[in-house]
């Protein structure tokens, strides 16, 4: 991976973990995520002002962008539910590590990315790490959080692949991000208003404005850097290195007072090691 892409991916990883940690501290993450994405949409629109040339080079690029927006909608909703019920360290590791198990074989079989003994070893290591974390099936709220994190994992992989395919059709990153957020935001608002009613939703959406704006700006940077890296290299490689955010998330979770057991920490360590193996040059 070229140095510029590497810096972009690692920066994206840190910012991704950071905005998830900020969302975790919102009184109601399921409403907070709507506010955060609203700020991100504004940030994406500002980013798109610097476009030169056509935003979309083909109708297939538009189609893949719309698909990414749908996957992002489900991802953001499931992520918020996961963070509401489970600790940040567990929810983040399951969602990012699980996504890696899905996106890697698809990237190899469909997008023609290289496979080696390192990538196979990495996939096995991630699977063992996730298994170790959940040898005892989580129950109650944490169990629900882990289940939602697993749903988020599938959607993370799916929107990454959709992003890569849209970029392959000549779509410009600012247009890709902004249109996909335009798809996701109304669906998130409609779902929350349906559940809570407009008055309650509006009241909770306006809580913690400084934290929400900060998280939205960090979220925008995370996606922007990731898309710029995707335009330079393969989806599997970007997804792999972006999962270094697991280590950042565990550190931020510790700063927030979360404490994982030895087995869960060991499992998270295996997931992190597996992502390194998956990204190791063949």
pLDDT in tens, 69-125: 999 999 999 999 998 888 888 888 888 878 877 776 776 666 666 667 777 787 778
Separation between Cα atoms, residue 159 and residue 16, nearest integer Å = 15
Q: Which residue has the higher pLDDT, 235 or 221?
A: 221
Q: At 38, is the pLDDT very low, low, confident or very high (cuts 50, 70, 90)?
A: very high
Give the phi and the psi of residue 73 in degrees, each rounded to 5.
-60, -50
Residue-averaged pLDDT of the chain: 83
Tell me if the pTM is above 0.85: no
**Cα–Cα dist 261/282, whole Å:** 34
- pLDDT at residue 35, as a whole number: 94
Torsion of CA 56, 58, 62, 68, to 10 degrees: -100
Condensed to tens digits (0 to 9), the pLDDT of residues 123-155 reads 778 778 767 765 556 667 888 888 999 999 999
- In the chain, the largest separation of any two C-alpha atoms, in whole Å, equals 55
Residue ranges of the domains in the chain? 3-48+57-278
Q: Report the Cα–Cα distance between both ends of the chain, in Å, rounded.
A: 12
Q: Rounded to whole angstroms, how far apart are CA atoms 122 and 199? A: 48
Predicted confidence at residue 39, as pLDDT, reads 95
pLDDT for the residue 183: 94
72: CB partners within 8 A, 6+ apart: 155, 159, 180, 181, 183, 184
Rounded Cα gap, residues 99 and 20, in angstroms:
16
Q: Which residues have CB under 8 Å from 209's CB, separation 6+? A: none
CA proximity to 273, closest of 252, 248, 246: 246
The predicted-structure confidence for 215-226, as pLDDT tens digits, reads as follows: 999 999 998 898
Whole-number pLDDT of residue 275:
67
In the block, residue with structure tokens 């990315």:
113
């Amino acid at each position: 991976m070229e140095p510029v892409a590497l810096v972009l991916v690692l920066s994206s990883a840190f910012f991704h973990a950071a905005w998830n940690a900020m969302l975790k501290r919102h009184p109601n993450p399921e409403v907070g995520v709507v506010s955060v994405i609203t700020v991100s949409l504004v940030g994406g629109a500002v980013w798109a002002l610097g476009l030169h040339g056509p935003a979309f080079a083909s109708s297939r690029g538009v189609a893949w962008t719309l698909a990414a927006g749908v996957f992002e909608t489900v991802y953001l909703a499931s992520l918020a539910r996961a963070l509401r019920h489970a600790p940040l360290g567990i929810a983040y590791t399951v969602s990012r590590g699980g996504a890696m198990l899905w996106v890697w074989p698809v990237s190899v079989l469909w997008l023609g990315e290289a496979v080696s003994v390192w990538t196979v070893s990495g996939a096995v290591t991630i699977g063992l790490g996730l298994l170790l974390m959940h040898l005892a099936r989580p129950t109650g709220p944490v169990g629900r959080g882990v289940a939602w994190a697993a749903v988020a994992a599938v959607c993370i992989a799916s929107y990454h692949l959709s992003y890569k395919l849209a970029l392959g059709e000549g779509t410009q990153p600012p247009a890709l991000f902004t249109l996909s957020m335009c798809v996701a935001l109304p669906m998130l608002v409609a779902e929350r208003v349906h559940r809570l009613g407009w008055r309650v939703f509006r009241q909770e959406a306006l809580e913690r404005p400084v934290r929400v704006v900060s998280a939205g700006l960090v979220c925008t940077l995370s996606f922007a850097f990731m898309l710029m890296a995707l335009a330079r290299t393969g989806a599997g490689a970007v997804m792999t290195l972006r999962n270094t955010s697991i280590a950042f998330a565990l550190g931020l979770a510790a700063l927030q007072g979360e404490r994982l057991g030895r087995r869960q920490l060991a499992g998270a360590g295996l997931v992190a090691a597996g992502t390194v193996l998956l990204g190791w040059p063949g």
